[in-house]
Amino acid sequence: MSETTTPYDVHRLRELAGELIVNIRELAQAGWTPATSSNFSRRLDDRHAAITVSGRDKGRLKEDDIMVVDFDGAAVGSDHRPSAETRLHTQLYRRFPDIGCILHTHSPTQTIASRLFADAGHVRLEGYELLKAFAGNQTHEMSVDVPVLPNSQDMTELSAQVEALLDAGPMWGYLIDGHGLYAWGRDMAEARRHLEAFEFLLHCELELRRLGARG
């Protein structure tokens, strides 16, 4: 990370890079970032985000493996290549100024759920106490539909589908078929809470299906 003049706060970038590395390492140790999959970001300011460099082992990240992009997804002050899915991060930062952290993982639970519920287009989570883990929810007496989007290499198409879902109502995350989960929050702690809640609830739904309690 260069000390030369940059359009963002270098010291803030280093702080966020350290936070990202620690948290991503924990998620990698949990088996949620196999191979070099997954991508993670933090809002740096009102025009930039700090995001993981493409193709890096998420369990062995260093400070230089965190780069800066603008909200159009272009690299800023770096020759590194950001994730191909950068637009899925920046569209949320651009649309919601209160979103400060986005986490994208590929746990077996998330990927299996995305395949099983792809035809339905969503996973309905209903009646669970842990629904209160999602910001703004005050009761378990509700349901949350987690969207499952078709996988696509066309980020313009995929981000347009996400925009349509965001227009329809509040969301805390979504699945991509055969891929994984996106979750976000105001900061790392809230984003991880949402991510871990989704993981637990999706696991419950898969177990209920395995036990024959779901059709």
Question: What domains, with CATH codes, occur in the chain?
Answer: 10-210 (3.40.225.10)
| Average pLDDT for 142-158 | 95
What per-residue confidence (pLDDT) applies to 2? 46
pLDDT band at 148 (very low <50, low <70, confident <90, very high): very high
pLDDT over 70 (residue 4): no
- Angle at CA 18, nearest 5°, toward 27 and 26? 15
What per-residue confidence (pLDDT) applies to 160? 96
Strands 173-176 and 143-149: parallel
Which range (25-39, 74-88, 98-112, 164-178) has the least confidence?
74-88
| Average pLDDT for 137-164 | 94
Contact 58, 36 (CB under 8 A): yes
What per-residue confidence (pLDDT) applies to 25? 97
pTM to 2 decimals?
A: 0.95
Contacts of 173 (CB under 8 A, 6+ apart): 146, 181, 182, 183, 184, 194, 195, 198
What per-residue confidence (pLDDT) applies to 141? 87
Strands 143-149 and 66-70: unpaired
In 3D space, the residue among 81, 104, 117 whose CA is nearest the CA of residue 33 turns out to be 104
